């Protein structure tokens, strides 16, 4: 049965084709009303939403089949990300799709403020020809302050520089050298404010940025400043902005986003030096095409192949690493599952990455190991989205380290579980492109693909052990699909790992355990 995806809002032809190529069934509600999707979300593995549609806690609770939520745009204010994370639902957006459109709209508003274009146009339409009332200022040599130098902020900077503006910027995650390469003078936020003629914000709305531009920060700006918000409603305090306009300290203001949308701020909208647009930053034909098709392809790739791009609540693999790392993801999950099914009372995992794999982005690998270890014993979905959170909740300590290449392997992953006072380890690697193998159990070398039902036993290294096991299985009609044997080079113990066509009943497993020379027997399903 194919996966089902719900798309609310626009779905370009390219997005529909992406789902068809992945054999995913699409329900497209182009005119879905604003609000929660809790009433219709239940059967869908994936959902794509635009800003009016809410994947809130109620919707997440109702979404038994949900694996991924895609936001057709940048902000995820309409998605309850913590609720999704707790349920193991991936949240992804498309941070680049409307970058150019949003930057161009910002510059359009800056220009509108400088030359009073909307007000002059409105007066002309009303029959008034009055050039003196709309005297503007040049942008050339004016100082533009940019708060937030991410993708959009940097695109705004490039366009402003093309207009001859001097660009000052503030961003805690951008180095001074990187800013200098962009031709931007980097400042601390408080140091930026006194030196701007225009100010534009390009930061997400978070507890730290809500009300960032307020009465105090506006008061630190020079008289006659012009302020633009094309980022998120609430980053600029609208009451403080109106007060600044009314006092004349703020010469002009423009907002494309508002604290409440649709906005009911009549005082702000009516002010003669205010310019407002109804959240048009990404509203271009080109941006809609890129965003709609791009997020559809991301959701389709995740549901069909497990590829994660632009995730909000999990570390994604960089594109250049995916081919090399992807085969290790199912391997390490099975290793975690193998350990948790083999040994009870695990309270700590030590993960060691050796060789080439140690240079990769390790967070998804570590998360998959934890997910494998926890999934067999929890009644909730455990995956790389919520694995680390669930481990913390259950007091499972996880340490990950890297090391040089292990002798004989270009890459090796070893996971050691501390359980009831003892350490137990399993190691694995990938040969070629996708030949996954377990190569070590508790220090004894083996070579077997971890799949299906596995019978693993440690025994005294004595003649006849394997024969007796094979005979017992044959008597019970259980075929061996694969087998690997390992032994201690100094003598003593040996280990065997068998892949069975089907699982043993409890009584049959007890019979294997009772055979001579057996130390322990485990049956695991990976």
Q: Among 143, 202, 232, 414, which one carries the catalytic annotation? A: 232
Instruction: Tell whether the model's pLDDT for residue 96 goes beyond 60.
Output: yes
* Model pLDDT for residues 118-161, shown as the tens digit of each residue: 999 999 999 999 999 999 999 999 999 999 998 899 999 999 99
pTM reported for the whole predicted model: 0.66
Instruction: Tell whether the model's pLDDT for residue 334 goes beyond 80.
Output: yes
Segment 170-196 mean pLDDT: 93
Instruction: Tell whether the model's pLDDT for residue 205 goes beyond 60.
Output: yes
3-state class (DSSP) for residue 95: coil
Other CB atoms within a 10 A radius of the CB of residue 104 amount to 17
Instruction: Tell whether the model's pLDDT for residue 75 goes beyond 80.
Output: no
pLDDT on residue 204: 85
Q: Indicate the Cα dihedral angle 118, 124, 126, 131, nearest 10°.
A: 100
| Poorest-pLDDT segment among 202-211, 213-222, 462-471 | 202-211
Stronger pLDDT, 303 or 375, i.e. the higher one: 303
Stronger pLDDT, 354 or 387, i.e. the higher one: 354
pLDDT on residue 174: 85
Q: What whole-number distance in Å separates Cα of residue 313 and Cα of residue 386?
A: 9
Segment 286-298 mean pLDDT: 92
Q: According to the 3-state scheme, what is the secondary structure of 360-390?
A: CCCHHHHHHHHHHHHHCCCCCCCCCCCHHHH
* Model pLDDT for residues 499-509, shown as the tens digit of each residue: 999 999 999 99
* Model pLDDT for residues 228-257, shown as the tens digit of each residue: 999 999 999 999 999 999 999 999 999 999
Q: Provide CATH code, domain 448-526.
A: 3.30.70.260
| Exposure string for 318-341, b = 16+ CB within 10 A, e = fewer | eeeebebbbbbbbbbbbbbbbbbb
Segment 100-122 mean pLDDT: 97
CA angle 313-316-317, nearest 5°? 170
Q: Among 20, 21, 261, 505, which one carries the catalytic annotation? A: 261
pLDDT on residue 1: 56
Domain 314-442 in this protein, CATH class: alpha beta
Pick among 3.40.640.10, 3.40.50.720, 3.90.209.20, 3.40.30.10: CATH of 4-95+286-310: 3.40.50.720
What are the boundaries of each domain within the chain? 4-95+286-310, 99-276, 314-442, 448-526
Instruction: Tell whether the model's pLDDT for residue 214 goes beyond 70.
Output: yes
Residue 261: active-site member: yes
Mean pLDDT rounded to a whole number for the chain: 92
Q: According to the 3-state scheme, what is the secondary structure of 184-239?
A: CEECCHHHHHHHCCEEEECCCCCCCCCCCECHHHHHHCCCCEEEEECCCCCCECHH
* Model pLDDT for residues 480-496, shown as the tens digit of each residue: 999 999 998 777 899 99
- Do 4-95+286-310 and 99-276 share a fold? yes
In order of 356, 435, 439, 449, the CA distances from 430 in angstroms are: 11, 5, 10, 10
* Model pLDDT for residues 429-453, shown as the tens digit of each residue: 999 878 999 999 999 999 999 999 9
pLDDT on residue 519: 94
Residue pair 194/220 in contact by the 8 Å Cβ criterion: yes
* Model pLDDT for residues 389-430, shown as the tens digit of each residue: 888 888 899 999 999 888 889 999 999 999 888 999 999 999
CA angle 61-63-66, nearest 5°? 125
Segment 167-190 mean pLDDT: 92
Determine whether domain 99-276 maps to CATH 3.90.800.10: no
Residue pair 171/156 in contact by the 8 Å Cβ criterion: no
Q: What whole-number distance in Å separates Cα of residue 325 and Cα of residue 413?
A: 12
In angstroms, the first-to-last Cα distance of the chain is 22
Segment 79-98 mean pLDDT: 89
Q: Among 271, 279, 297, 309, which one carries the catalytic annotation? A: 279
Closest C-alpha to 364, from 310, 320, 325, 319 = 325
pLDDT on residue 379: 65
Place of tokens 């895609």: 70
């Amino acid at each position: 049965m194919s996966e089902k995806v719900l798309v609310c809002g626009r779905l370009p032809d390219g997005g529909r084709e992406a789902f068809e190529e992945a054999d995913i069934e699409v329900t497209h509600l182009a005119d879905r009303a604003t609000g929660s999707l809790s009433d219709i979300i239940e059967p869908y593995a994936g959902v794509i939403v635009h800003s009016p549609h809410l994947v809130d806690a109620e919707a997440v609770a109702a979404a038994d089949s949900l694996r991924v939520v895609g936001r057709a745009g940048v902000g995820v204010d309409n998605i309850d990300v913590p609720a999704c994370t707790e349920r193991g639902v991936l949240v992804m957006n498309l941070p680049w799709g409307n970058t150019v459109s949003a930057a161009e709209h910002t510059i359009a508003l800056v220009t509108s403020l400088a030359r009073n274009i909307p007000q002059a146009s409105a007066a002309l339409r009303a029959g008034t020809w009055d050039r003196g009332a709309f005297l503007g200022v040049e942008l050339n040599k004016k100082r533009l302050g940019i708060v937030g130098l991410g993708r959009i902020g940097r695109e705004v900077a490039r366009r402003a520089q093309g207009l001859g503006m001097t660009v000052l910027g503030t961003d805690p995650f951008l180095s001074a050298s990187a800013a200098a390469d962009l031709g931007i003078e980097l400042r601390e936020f408080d140091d930026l404010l006194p030196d701007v003629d225009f100010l534009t914000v390009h930061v997400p709305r978070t507890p730290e940025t809500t009300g960032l531009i307020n009465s105090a920060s506006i008061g630190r700006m020079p008289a006659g400043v012009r302020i633009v918000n094309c980022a998120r409603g609430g980053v600029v305090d609208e009451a403080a902005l109106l007060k600044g306009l009314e006092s004349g300290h703020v010469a002009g203001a423009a907002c494309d986003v508002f604290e409440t949308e649709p906005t009911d701020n009549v005082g702000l909208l009516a002010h003669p030096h205010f310019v407002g647009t109804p959240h048009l930053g990404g509203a271009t034909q080109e941006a809609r095409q890129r965003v709609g098709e791009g997020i559809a392809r991301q959701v389709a790739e995740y549901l069909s192949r497990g590829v994660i791009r632009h995730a909000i609540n999990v570390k994604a693999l960089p594109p250049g690493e995916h081919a090399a790392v992807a085969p290790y993801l199912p391997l390490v999950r099975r290793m975690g599952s193998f350990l948790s099914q083999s040994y009870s009372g695990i309270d700590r995992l030590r993960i060691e990455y050796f060789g080439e794999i140690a240079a990769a982005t390790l967070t998804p690998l570590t998360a998959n190991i934890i997910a494998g270890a926890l999934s067999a014993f929890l009644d909730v979905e455990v995956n790389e989205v919520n694995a680390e959170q669930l481990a913390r909740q259950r007091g499972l300590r996880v340490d990950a380290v890297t090391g040089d290449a292990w002798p004989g392997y270009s890459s090796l992953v070893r996971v050691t579980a501390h359980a009831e006072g003892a350490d137990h380890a399993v190691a694995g690697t990938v040969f070629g492109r996708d030949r996954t193998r377990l190569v070590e159990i508790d220090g004894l070398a083996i070579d077997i693909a971890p799949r299906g039902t596995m019978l693993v036993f440690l025994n005294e290294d004595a003649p006849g052990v394997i024969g007796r096991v094979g005979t017992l299985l044959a008597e019970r009609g259980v075929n061996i699909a694969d087998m690997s044997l390992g032994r201690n080079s100094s003598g003593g113990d040996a280990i065997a790992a068998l892949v069975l066509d089907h699982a043993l009943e409890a009584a049959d497993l007890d019979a294997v355990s009772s055979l001579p020379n057996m130390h322990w027997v485990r049956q695991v399903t990976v």
